Structure 1
Amino acid sequence: MSTRVLPPIESVSGGSHGVHAGYEQMLVLAERYERQAGDLVEMAALGARVMADGDLLESSVLAPLSFADAEVHVLDATTGADGLTVRAVGIEADALGVRAVVAAFRASDALAERTSETIDNTMGRLVGRELAAALPALLVAGAISYAWWSTLPPDEQTALQDRLTEGLGELVHDHPELAQHLVNSGGGLLDGLTGGLVTGSARLLDPGDGAIQGATTNDAARLLALLLGDDTDYDVHQLTGIAPSDNQSSAPGSLADLMRSLDDTNDLDQDEPRRHGAIQIQTIGQPPHERYIVYIPGTDDMSPVPQDGEHVRDMETSYQLIGGMDSAYGRGIEQAMLDAGLDGKDVMLVGHSQGGMVSTSLAADPDFTRHFNVQHVVTAGSPTAQVPLLPDGTHALHLENRGDAVPLLDGEDNPDQPNRTTVKFDQGTSNVGGNHGIDRYVQGAQAADASGNGSIQDQIRHMQQDGYLGSDPVTGVSTYQVTR
């Protein structure tokens, strides 16, 4: 009997065993040192108070030698070379040393981030200027290339297109860090193409919200969203007559089960295109201890310019989310959850692609979290670095497949937070579209389930303790459609 080989996990960052969790543990140690030093100082002061006690001083007349000997020992124990006061000073110095080390590490991290951002931005700006200067020649070359392309037989056009697509897929799979840096240079590229219009006197946007004072990829995304109208109007209604899938009829027992249920939600508009924008809400357990899992699929319309005015899961929404803006999809999800009676309830958000983007964004939005207690977020193939901070009470697990270009679209690694874990695995090929499929993320989730990594296992344990992974009965699955 053959054994299924799980995809290798290439890296795990953040979480309870991440770098910043280590910083916090070091600061906890420093606090313990400081408390211990305070206790020693208090004990030293107690010794002085004892020696100054009136009754003890009166008794010294009766036994002056014994009193003097006791005084010497007390002073030695409290203020002597090896006394409590000296030890307290040493421990306090250790605490300051630990804090200084953490501050130095954090400063080094910030410097590395700033340096990387500056290099990417400068590279993009230089390329943008060159492209702007060479635009006439590029247009002529493009016209000639298109004319040559048009003369090729259809089978040769298809073969050439396949070779180009495969070459791009191999580049993304073999060198994801290069693709990420190219995306991260988007702000500088925009600046170079527009001659500084974005960060100049026109101030079309408000750059400088990142590690550098200059246009960022987030600025570029905001500009694209504005050019498309920045539409946030939405409509929500419940879809009836949709039976829960086999996967959704029982509570998920693992991360892989969550991905399978998410895939079933994603398939709703595959079976019936008019269901575009559908999300599903799974109820687990009985009142008053019920929990809710909201399954949020990704982009329906991948066209750079939306093809119609109804699809809420389009590129305009992606631009808004990367730019840190409000979106019709996010607003519609919130309304659907309110309509379903989830106000004040414990929830988990599970999203693929754009669905993971909006899940992470909502979990960090105070207007959203005043209605819902978002205990967990699980994302698959989603760029989420544009959300810099999640509340301490929210645990997030981000799955990213090597060779999937979509998680690279934020241009940065996810923030390292103790409650936020990023798992990168390799189930990729040169097929960029295939690498983004939820089926690949089912396999990546299986690898995470089987991993012994502390950050991953702590995330899973929290999901189990909070009742989202386990054997409690499913008491309902409802479906809502969000449209523009």
Structure 2
Amino acid sequence: MELLSTEQQLTGIVTTGEVLGLFKDSNPLTVNQIPSRVPTGAGPTDLGGLVDDINVAGKSPADRERILVRHVQQPDGTGAWIVSIPGTAQWSPVSQENPADLTANLRLMAGMSSTLKPAVQQALSSAQRQAGVQPGSEPVMLTGHSQGGILAASMAHDPQLAKELNIREVVTFAAPVTGMALPAQVNGLDVGINGDVVHHADNQDTADRINQAQISCAAPADAANNFATHNSHGYAERAHALLGHDTDVIAAQDFYRRADGVFLGGTATTYTFELQRPS
């Protein structure tokens, strides 16, 4: 008997749950822009800075998912975009007002529709219009921790959406995204910490694709258990300590060669959005 894939198993769970009134995700999300804490400033300069932005985005009310959309402009006048997406906010199987929930995890991992994807696209397009930039005319990097990484990879996994948004880089932390193949024009970098069980939740350890690189970092000495290594602040600490510009990790060096002077450095204008399921 042929075993079902992880994606097929999750699809079965979601489909069965929907019959029982669980995992509902059909109504479009409300996308509200709020004032950014630091509207303008220096753009992120390294992988640690990308996780720091994800952590800033994660400081949101319990019933909302907050994301950062940053327009990075370089001294030569070129521009690019970084979308920072935090991880799971709540684990109830009954869909809550905060869409960063168990429902989103299962649906995204199963390759099913999720209202988070068009909501993130709406936020990005809104920020681009405010900046006077035609959507799709400047390159985009999607970054995320845990569920945020799943969402980022899922969006880029769709060739039409990746082309429409001009996605060029996907950087994920603690996200089980190895099985999500990316279009040829998109580069993926997946960062994990040894012992993080969530990072391997897709049961696939190696992406055998030239445009998807993986980095495994040693766990912090003070990590109490496997779940402690999953914390986004721990990922920020590891990235700052091990994956700066002076790193000897080849995948990180390759990333910096692509991202420096495009997505990293320069001056950033930040647009902050909150996503919420209608009551």
**TM-score bucket (shorter structure):** 0.7 to 0.9
Contact 2:34–2:274 (CA<8 Å) still a contact in 1? no
Q: Structure 2: how far apart are the matches of 1:453 and 1:431? A: 25
Contact 2:88–2:147 (CA<8 Å) still a contact in 1? yes
Change in CA separation of 1:352 and 1:448 when aligned onto 2, cut-off 3 Å = same
1:238 positional shift: 2.5
Show the 5 A alignment for 1:66-77: none
Q: In structure 2, what is the equivalent of residue 411 of structure 1?
A: 203
1:414 positional shift: 3.6
Q: In structure 2, what is the equivalent of residue 253 of structure 1?
A: 45
Q: Structure 1: how far apart are the matches of 2:17 and 2:205? A: 27
Matched, 1:293 2:77: no
1:233 positional shift: 2.6
> For residues 329-364 of structure 1, what are the alpha-carbon distances to aligned partners after superposition, in whole Å with 9 as ceiling and x for unaligned?
122112222222362131111100000001011112
Matched, 1:456 2:249: no
Q: Structure 2: how far apart are the matches of 1:454 and 1:433? A: 27
> For residues 229-254 of structure 1, what are the alpha-carbon distances to aligned partners after superposition, in whole Å with 9 as ceiling and x for unaligned?
35243223223233228xx7311111
Matched, 1:338 2:125: yes
Q: Structure 1: how far apart are the matches of 2:183 and 2:77? A: 24
Which structure's CA Rg is the greater one?
A: 1
1:369 positional shift: 1.9
Q: In structure 1, what is the equivalent of residue 216 of structure 2?
A: 424
Q: Alignment partner of 2:53: what SS? A: helix
Q: Structure 2: how far apart are the matches of 1:409 and 1:258? A: 23
Q: Structure 2: how far apart are the matches of 1:279 and 1:414? A: 29
Q: In structure 2, what is the equivalent of residue 396 of structure 1?
A: 188
Matched, 1:312 2:99: yes
Q: Alignment partner of 1:410: what SS? A: coil
Contact 1:277–1:312 (CA<8 Å) still a contact in 2? yes
Instruction: Tell me the matched-pair count.
Output: 261
Show the 5 A alignment for 1:166-181: none
Q: Structure 1: how far apart are the matches of 2:256 and 2:208? A: 18
Q: In structure 2, what is the equivalent of residue 468 of structure 1?
A: 263
Q: In structure 2, what is the equivalent of residue 367 of structure 1?
A: 160
Q: In structure 2, what is the equivalent of residue 263 of structure 1?
A: 55
The letter for the 1-side match of 2:106 is Y
1:383 positional shift: 0.5
Matched, 1:224 2:28: no
Contact 1:217–1:411 (CA<8 Å) still a contact in 2? yes
Q: In structure 2, what is the equivalent of residue 445 of structure 1?
A: 239
Structure 2: runs of 5+ lacking an equivalent:
19-23, 129-133
Q: Structure 2: how far apart are the matches of 1:311 and 1:468? A: 29
Contact 1:399–1:444 (CA<8 Å) still a contact in 2? no
The letter for the 1-side match of 2:65 is G
Q: In structure 1, what is the equivalent of residue 131 of structure 2?
A: none
The letter for the 2-side match of 1:392 is A
Q: Structure 1: how far apart are the matches of 2:249 and 2:29? A: 42
Contact 2:88–2:146 (CA<8 Å) still a contact in 1? yes
> For residues 193-233 of structure 1, what are the alpha-carbon distances to aligned partners after superposition, in whole Å with 9 as ceiling and x for unaligned?
xxxxxxxxxxxxxxxxxxxx431221111112223335243
The letter for the 1-side match of 2:179 is Q
1:288 positional shift: 6.3
Q: Structure 2: how far apart are the matches of 1:317 and 1:284? A: 29
Q: Which has the higher helix share?
A: 1
Contact 1:384–1:414 (CA<8 Å) still a contact in 2? no
The letter for the 1-side match of 2:200 is L
The letter for the 1-side match of 2:182 is L
Q: In structure 2, what is the equivalent of residue 109 of structure 1?
A: none
Which structure has more RCO (C-alpha within 8 Å, separation ≥ 6)? Answer: 2
Q: Structure 2: how far apart are the matches of 1:386 and 1:321? A: 12
Show the 5 A alignment for 1:122-141: none
Q: In structure 1, what is the equivalent of residue 21 of structure 2?
A: none
Contact 1:236–1:336 (CA<8 Å) still a contact in 2? no
Sequence identity (%): 24
Q: Structure 2: how far apart are the matches of 1:244 and 1:327? A: 30
The letter for the 1-side match of 2:123 is A
Q: Structure 1: how far apart are the matches of 2:41 and 2:15? A: 42
Q: In structure 1, what is the equivalent of residue 230 of structure 2?
A: 436
